[in-house]
A and B are shown apart, each in its own frame.
Chain A
Amino acid sequence: MENEGGIKKFMYVNRKAPYGTIYALESLEVVLIGAAFDQDVSLAFLDDGVYQLAKGQDTKGIGMKNFSPIYKVLGDYDINKLYVEKESLEARGLTLDDLQEIMYEDEDDDWEEKPSIRVVSAAELRDLMDEQDIVLSF
């Protein structure tokens, strides 16, 4: 695919539970740092990665920082494409209602607030991955 002015399509793929390993937090940090470079960024959540967006996370018992509120500011970093795989949600008995609400303001539509999370099928996600210049897996 052709690039406009050096802008590449980056997809960060998150497949692991938020705690227990450092992958989820590291991925989020890379995403935030990378946001400074004005690229076309999207995030994908599949397998246990869907738990990263779960509502009402409480980490007191494991002595780790609950970093889930950070996902809510992604819109301010112009990151507003959060794809969640439908099959992964279903396999875990989850629906969109179990995920936290993450909004962004659409500057092309009079700053209207719109949801960043989009539930997609595995087939749709595969097509999205195919469109990317760079896919980073965590």
Chain B
Amino acid sequence: MAIEVNGKTYETDEEGYLANLNDWEPEVATAMAKEDGTELSESHWEVINFLREYYEEYQIAPAVRVLTKAIGKKLGKDKGNSKYLYELFPYGPAKQACKYAGLPKPTGCV
């Protein structure tokens, strides 16, 4: 599969996750979100950028409870909770945000 953004084609897996992490550009996230009917706000970007940094450091897309805890630590308690994250990413904060961030699907997600 593939996703087309501004005339450029990006290879994805069968669930729409980018095949190559290094292909990622912000426009890819915007396009993926648009397909899901979401417009990315500052708050979305905060999580997406956090995930990219997290992956850079630890080489893993975190499970949702780990992500929630880590966000709380980095961005504050008001953001490190399921309610806040699910409002931003209703398809599941780990799954959906990782996808927009160009990361693989979190380990352990089915």
- A: which residues have CB within 8 A of B? 29, 32-33, 35-36, 65-67, 69-70, 72-73, 76-77
Q: Check B58–A69 contact: CB distance below 8 A.
A: yes
Known contacts A29-B107, A33-B108: A77-B59 contact under CB 8 Å = no
Q: Check A36–B108 contact: CB distance below 8 A.
A: yes
**Interface range for B:** 10 to 19
A72 to B66, CA, bound (A): 13
B71–chain A nearest beta-carbon distance, Å: 12
- Residues on A with C-beta less than 8 A from B66 are 73, 76-77
Q: Check B58–A73 contact: CB distance below 8 A.
A: yes
Closest to B55 in A: A69
Main secondary structure of the interface of B (DSSP, over half): loop
Closest to A68 in B: B59
CB within 8 Å of A: which B61-84 residues: 62-63, 66, 69-70
Contact residue among A35, A36, A69, A76 (Cβ-Cβ distance under 8 Å from B59): A69
A7 to B94, CA, bound (A): 26
A14–chain B nearest beta-carbon distance, Å: 17
Can you list the 10 inter-chain pairs with the closest CB atoms, starting with the nearest?
Answer: A33-B108, A76-B66, A32-B107, A69-B58, A69-B59, A70-B60, A73-B58, A36-B108, A70-B59, A67-B59
A124–chain B nearest beta-carbon distance, Å: 30
Contact residue among A32, A65, A67, A70 (Cβ-Cβ distance under 8 Å from B63): A32
Q: Check B63–A72 contact: CB distance below 8 A.
A: no
Show 30 residue pairs from A and B whose CB-CB distance is below 8 angstroms, ordered by the A residue: A29-B107, A32-B60, A32-B107, A33-B107, A33-B108, A35-B63, A35-B108, A36-B63, A36-B108, A65-B59, A66-B59, A67-B59, A67-B60, A69-B57, A69-B58, A69-B59, A69-B60, A70-B58, A70-B59, A70-B60, A73-B58, A73-B60, A73-B62, A73-B66, A76-B62, A76-B66, A76-B69, A76-B70, A77-B63, A77-B66
